């Protein structure tokens, strides 16, 4: 059983009217696809690190400004690729070796300035453990109209920016990276605080200091503008990365068909590992360029599937669970239509609303009652 192209080795596709099987059953379909290889992990990591270093060097050493800008933007994109490798390592899906994954993950996370242990806590434990459960999962968690109206004018302005379609980078940089991934306060973390959190924050801060120092040294040696070189060699790649990351996680979990829950029992009944993720598809093999991270349903069903097997696993799920998985072909029209529709969430009606509380998606609870 290796792909959906060999249906004779798979169970029959499940009718949309049948109850969804237990997660263990669904994961059993994917076991033959989950094999991890250490060599492939090293090749992927070495290639992306070499590409990152070459592009950062290009931002400092090339003569043409347009070429330096192009290298700067491409470096931000490669930071995203390295992060995805680190994300796999943090899930223990990159190689079969747990301790090796921890070290490879930390190395892959360095250019994105991501603290490995804090990402492990916030992403693996909280986000994957309680996907789209309000009050626990914090990733793009929507406010209710009452919560929005109780915000200060400044905080409401930020929320409008985040949900405008133009603000995913600001959302990720401020709400996730700065507040939760860079030396979060012990009082805020409570009993979940671990000394390793501070050590990992110090590690990425030290890397950032070395990165900046190297840029300054090269600019001074070359007699070029230190500020322009810092802008192109550090600031622009990081801004590109923040926007890339904010966009990706927004696309993973925001859609008019995606439900949020504020009651744990209802959330459990909804089988959230399938119903709360979106499979965004792109033309021109763009999905392969970002290590297939957009095959997101397969990832939430089974986090042990390595990035180089996600496309195959996603095909299996979509073959066996027709009409259960949200599949969306990406377009900028869809994206901004979604941004206009998905401002707030009404948990009573289970639907998305605008900032005035008017429903912008089908109320799932009313629909279920009518059925």
Does 359 reside within a domain? yes
Bridge pairing between strands 326-329 and 344-346: unpaired
Contact, 256 vs 352, CB < 8 A? yes
Is 277 part of any domain?
A: no
**8-state DSSP, 190:** G
Give a yes or no: residue 294 inside a domain. no
Q: How far apart are CA 80 and CA 169, in angstroms?
A: 13
- The backbone region for 132, taken as left when phi is positive above 0, alpha when psi lies in -120 to 50, beta otherwise, is left
Q: Are 134 and 262 in contact (CB under 8 A)?
A: yes
Domain limits for position 364? 344-370
Nearest to 113 by CA among 143, 82, 70: 82
User: Rg of the chain over CA atoms, in angstroms?
Assistant: 21
Classified as helix, coil or strand, 353 is strand
Name residue, tokens 């790649």.
Answer: 237
Q: How many domains does the chain have?
A: 1
pTM of the model: 0.91
Tokens representing 238 are 């990081």
Any domain includes 364:
yes
Q: What is the pLDDT of residue 185?
A: 79
- The pLDDT tens digits of the residues spanning 77-106 come to 999 999 999 999 999 999 999 999 999 999
Q: Could you tell me the CA-to-CA distances from 45 to 37, 200, 287 in Å, in that order?
A: 13, 20, 18
In a structure prediction context, what are the per-residue pLDDT tens digits for the chain, which is 371 residues long? Answer: 444 444 446 788 888 888 888 888 888 888 888 889 999 999 999 999 999 999 999 999 999 999 999 999 999 999 999 999 999 999 999 999 999 999 999 999 999 999 999 999 999 999 999 999 999 999 999 999 999 999 999 999 999 999 999 999 999 999 999 999 998 877 777 778 888 999 999 999 999 999 999 999 999 999 999 999 999 999 999 999 999 999 999 999 999 999 999 999 888 887 777 878 899 999 888 888 999 999 989 999 999 999 999 999 999 999 999 888 999 999 999 999 999 999 999 999 999 999 999 999 999 765 444 44
Tell me how far CA of residue 132 lies from CA of 138, 139, 241, in angstroms.
8, 8, 24
- Scanning the chain, the segments in alpha helix (DSSP H) are 23-30, 38-61, 65-90, 98-109, 116-119, 145-149, 153-162, 168-171, 186-189, 195-222, 226-230, 236-253, 264-269, 272-275, 286-289, 296-301, 310-320, 332-341, 364-370
358, part of any domain: yes
| Beta carbons of 262 and 347 less than 8 angstroms apart | yes
Q: Is residue 5 part of a domain?
A: no
For residue 169, being part of any structural domain is answered with no
Contact 292, 88 (CB under 8 A): no
Are the CB atoms for 336 and 25 separated by under 8 Å? Answer: no
Residue 215 within any structural domain of the chain = no
């Amino acid at each position: 059983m290796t792909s959906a192209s060999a249906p004779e080795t798979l169970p029959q596709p499940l009718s949309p009217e049948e109850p969804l099987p237990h997660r263990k059953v669904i994961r059993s379909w994917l076991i033959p696809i989950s094999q991890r290889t250490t060599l492939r992990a090293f090749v992927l990591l070495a290639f992306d690190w070499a590409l990152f270093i070459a592009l950062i060097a290009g931002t400092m050493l090339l003569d043409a400004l347009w070429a330096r800008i192009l290298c700067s933007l491409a470096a931000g994109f490669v930071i995203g690729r390295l992060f995805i490798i680190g994300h796999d390592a943090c899930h223990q899906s990159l190689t079969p070796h747990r301790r090796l994954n921890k070290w490879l993950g930390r190395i892959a996370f360095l250019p994105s300035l991501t603290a490995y242990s804090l990402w492990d806590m916030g992403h693996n434990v909280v986000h994957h453990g309680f996907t789209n459960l309000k009050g626990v999962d914090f990733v793009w968690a929507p406010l209710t109209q009452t919560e929005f109206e109780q915000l200060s004018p400044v905080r409401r302005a930020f929320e409008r920016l985040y949900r405008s379609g133009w603000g995913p980078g600001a959302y990720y940089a401020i709400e996730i990276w700065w507040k939760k991934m860079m030396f979060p306060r012990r009082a805020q973390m409570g009993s979940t605080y671990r000394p390793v959190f501070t050590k990992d924050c110090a590690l990425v801060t030290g890397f950032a200091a070395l990165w900046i120092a190297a840029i300054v040294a090269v600019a001074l040696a070359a007699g070029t503008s230190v500020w322009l070189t810092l802008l192109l060699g550090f600031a622009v790649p990081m801004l590109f990365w923040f926007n890339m990351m904010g966009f990706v996680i927004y696309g993973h979990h925001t859609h008019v068909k995606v439900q949020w829950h504020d009651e744990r029992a209802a959330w459990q009944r909804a089988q959230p590992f399938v119903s709360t993720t979106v499979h965004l598809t792109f033309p021109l093999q763009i999905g392969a360029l970002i290590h297939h991270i957009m095959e997101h349903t397969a990832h939430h069903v089974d986090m042990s599937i390595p990035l180089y097997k996600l496309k195959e696993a996603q095909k299996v799920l979509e073959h066996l669970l027709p009409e259960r998985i949200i599949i969306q072909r990406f377009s900028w029209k869809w994206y901004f239509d979604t941004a206009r529709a998905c401002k707030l969430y009404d948990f009573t009606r289970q639907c998305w609303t605008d900032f005035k509380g008017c429903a912008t998606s089908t109320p799932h609870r009313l629909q279920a009652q009518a059925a």
